[in-house]
A and B are shown apart, each in its own frame.
Chain A
Amino acid sequence: MTVAVDKTKCIGCGACVVECPIEALDLIDGLAVVNPQKCNDNGKCVIVCPTNALSLPNQPDQPKQALDPEAGSKFDLKEPLPDTVKDYAQDNQKKAISAQVTPVAGGDVWSGVWVIIEYSNGKVAPVSWELLGEGRKLADSIGCGLCGVITGYQVDSVIPEAFAYGAEKVYVVDHFALKDYRTEPYAEAITSLVTKYQPEIILMGATSMGRDVFPAIATRVQTGLTADCTVLGIDPETKLLQQTRPAFGGNIMATILCRTSRPQMATVRPRVMAMPERVEGREGELIHEEISFDETTIRTKVLEFISSDAKSAFLDKAEIIVAVGLGIAAKRNMVLAEELAEVLGATIAGSRGAVEAGWLTHDQQVGQSGTTVRPKIYIAIGISGAIQHLVGMETSDFIIAINNDPEASILKVANYGIVGDLFQIVPAMTAEFKKRLQHGVAN
């Protein structure tokens, strides 16, 4: 008998391979494969599998009860198992997963939740405040402090804001070398704070800056990093940070743990976490950290910054989006969407089909291979709603879809779905919006 792998369920996470005490499992081409010569049906892999892809065929109904809690001790192990393993075999499944924590160098030294506050070109990225709100919840569930980190040049105006949004302590590195964002000095500043003060968790927005500097820091301190999280939580037993993010282009959600190293690092998608309450005049501890930078050793120079209006720079910042799909049939019909967008002050976007047809450019594409958007209003015109499109827009606050196919998937995620001819409905909507907005008639 050997453990059976359901290849349609296996996600190739490797949890079973790590778990197997006798190395009978291997990951081959991204799927778990059992070596029947080695497998002795101890079933440990079955327990840890997050997708229930593994089973013991001879005991299909009760694979978990069939476990012998002492089974682990029978094997001649190459490596001693951590002590924690001994007690989890007698406990429940959840414990089994959480108890894998390998002792971390530094032990309890790593403490506190940090939020890196993104400040560039005189502006704080709002996601920084959202993360102080989320960080507060995490710090409370662990029972530790919440700190803000501000790196930049002439950042004094930001400090009271960080306290107002909930930081108890603020670390500041204020230096001319940090005037413009560059990976090297920013990574150096944050890395030196991290190694000195040893936070347990560090968060930053999944912006172009966060997604540039965090991998550099994680590599320097040799720890795990989870990108683009949409849900964070703390495991009540292990106090590990549960980092949930969309994977496979949003087709599944995966919860990632960083068990074996500290700090636990995550970037978080903007506008997913709620903005916390701002308390004017709140105070806290301020630590100015002096770091000297040698400009001659920094190998990058910012020559110029060309600011562009947010609408054209990044689709994911748009408040209102008018998106078109293949249903508009021809490029000349783009005018329907453009007129509607004009009236609403909206940004034009579209499906992959519309981009491939040449009606739009790639940076206007919404969806998995394009941009994920979360506007206040998303108006989908002639978009059928393939899953790849839906994952990129279904968290919009309000969705209006116009499609002639009553079975179109887009209608299933729409707050208002209109079945009908877009060539008649869209101009009528444009006219109606124009009338009300120009005359200020709401009802």
Chain B
Amino acid sequence: MKYVSAFFAIAFGLLVLAGYFVPALEPLQALLISWAGILLAVASLIGVFNLITVHGEKIRSREKNSGYSSLLLVSLVLTFLLGLALGPSHPVMQGVVESVILPVEASLMAILSVTLLYAAIRLLRRRVDVMSVIFLLTVLAVLVWSLALPPYGELALFGNTLRPWLTQVLALGGARGILIGVALGALTTGLRVLLAFDRPYGGK
């Protein structure tokens, strides 16, 4: 089975890759990517089923805090059945999104501000070296230079000159280096998978 798996990964992967360079293969590339999209949707359903199994097992074996698992299962099954019956764009489903998903996501984002401030203060107390000082000075500079004072608006020198220079020249160079570094890493990892040096789908 491991040879079949490696053959599938290499053959279909190389066909999709060839589609980027050979225009005649573009329709085949689109078809293969579309099939992968279907399989990813099926994989997400399997993931949800796995979530149900894990929490169902917790409830069955009466583990500690299994009450929370019951809440999770009830909310999951109710939302799924409602979504299956009405469709995700139905006003009731949109109400579910606006009353649970969006407020919780926004609240978690809001809590992040407190967590980030706390982390910055901890960094200043625990690790004072050149890099952390540069990091925190940059944070302060961007925050303070973004301020618009009510009577004056943005301060001309900081808002129009120094902040853009810091974010669009100094930080841009670093960000570009990080992006290209990440892309080179992704390229190497992808090629290792396509040449079957790495087989994350199973088989050594």
A binds B: no
Which residues in A have some Cβ–Cβ distance to B below 8 Å? none
